[in-house]
């Protein structure tokens, strides 16, 4: 239900205006002065303001000027006598008025004017709502396009790295260089520079990293848990993601993290598993039963 504010310093006028609209579907609010009307506007949403022109303290023109700041979309109508034509013209020229009505008013004309004004107000509100929705949709579309572009760039980067890694396998570069390149690739994917790639052996671990993890006890515990569970794990600021195939852990990605978040991108890590399997088998780091052997350090020395 729309609120309509009547403003007049004569209570009998307010009562008459209210009586005319008693059968209309509006909520009527009355004020006997400009200052009282402004208090209403500070606390209520008002669709229409109908004010007398001549009032003590603050006239109708000044009221509508100040009301335009508090309630810019309200429909504004002045009630005036023939002697106030110049003030009405001033209000019209300043863009304050939607309509004006002469005293004494005709009840039917008053009702029709108010109905028309409320319809106009509602149309404006509907248009504003549509514009806001359109603005939101445009922003949403812009964000989607930006996200899509970022995803395409990321996907292109990932595919290029896959290709580079496979070429490196064919070229037979040293295994330690190859594994460090995988660490750099993971650093981009996980959005952090603090990555370690753990290659678990039967008796020890070999680490390829861009940043060593200092908490050795937490690191050992994380690795042991991951080896048992074959699943992502987080503890004491360290996150771990196993790279596995058929129950065998080919490597564990370790990184410093303050959030308890598991990062899981099956397609990326499945592809890395394939690349690591090829690399480890090529460099004799996996025996025929696909179990990791323990003399990784010795073989790495032979690669130099």
**CA 303 from chain center: how many Å?**
50
The token duo for 169 is 């396998």
Whether 241 has a pLDDT exceeding 60, the answer reads yes
In whole angstroms, give the CA distance from residue 286 to residue 279: 9
- Please provide the average confidence, as pLDDT, over all residues in the chain: 80
Whole-number pLDDT of residue 75: 93
The pLDDT score that the predictor gives to residue 48 is 95
In this structure, of 78-92, 131-145, 240-254, 276-290, the range with the lowest mean pLDDT score is 276-290
pLDDT, tens only, 130-184: 888 888 888 888 888 888 887 788 778 888 888 888 888 777 788 788 888 888 8
pLDDT per residue as tens digits for the range 183-198: 888 887 777 777 888 8
- Is residue 104 reached through a cis peptide bond, with omega within 30 degrees of 0 on the bond before it? yes
User: For residue 209, what are the β-bridge partners?
Assistant: 196
Asked whether residue 213 carries a pLDDT value surpassing 70, the answer given is no
Alpha carbon 260 to chain centroid distance? Answer: 22
Q: Which two tokens stand for residue 53?
A: 């022109």
Q: pLDDT band for 265, please (50, 70, 90 cuts).
A: low
Q: Report the length, in residues, of the chain.
A: 304
> 106 by DSSP, 3-state: which?
coil
Residue 45 near residue 19 (C-beta atoms within 8 A)? no
């Amino acid at each position: 239900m729309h609120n309509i504010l009547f403003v007049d310093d004569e209570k009998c006028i307010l009562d008459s205006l209210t009586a005319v609209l008693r059968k209309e579907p509006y909520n009527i609010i009355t004020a006997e002065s400009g200052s009282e009307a402004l208090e209403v506007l500070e606390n209520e949403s008002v669709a229409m303001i109908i004010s007398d022109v001549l009032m003590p303290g603050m006239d109708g023109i000044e009221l509508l000027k100040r009301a335009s700041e508090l309630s810019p979309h309200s429909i504004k109508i002045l009630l005036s006598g023939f002697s106030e034509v110049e003030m009405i013209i001033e209000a019209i020229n300043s863009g304050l008025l939607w309509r004006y009505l002469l005293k004494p008013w005709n009840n039917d004309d008053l009702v029709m004017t108010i109905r028309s004004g409320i319809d106009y107000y509602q149309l404006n509100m509907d248009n504003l709502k549509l514009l806001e929705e359109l603005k939101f949709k445009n922003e949403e579309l812009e964000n989607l396009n930006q996200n899509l572009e970022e995803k395409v760039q990321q996907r292109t980067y990932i595919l290029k790295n896959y290709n580079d890694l496979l070429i490196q396998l064919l070229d037979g570069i040293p295994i330690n260089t190859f594994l460090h390149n995988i660490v750099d690739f993971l650093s981009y994917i996980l959005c952090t520079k603090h990555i370690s790639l753990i290659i678990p052996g039967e008796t020890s671990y070999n680490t390829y990293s861009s940043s060593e993890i200092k908490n050795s006890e937490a690191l050992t515990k994380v690795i042991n848990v991951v080896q048992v569970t074959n699943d992502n794990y987080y503890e004491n600021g360290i996150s771990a993601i196993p790279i596995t195939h058929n129950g065998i852990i080919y490597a564990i990605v370790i990184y410093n993290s303050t959030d308890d978040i598991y990062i899981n991108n099956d397609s990326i890590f499945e592809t890395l598993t394939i690349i690591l399997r090829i690399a480890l088998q090529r460099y004799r780091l996996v025996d025929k039963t696909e179990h990791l052997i323990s003399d990784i350090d010795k073989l790495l020395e032979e690669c130099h």
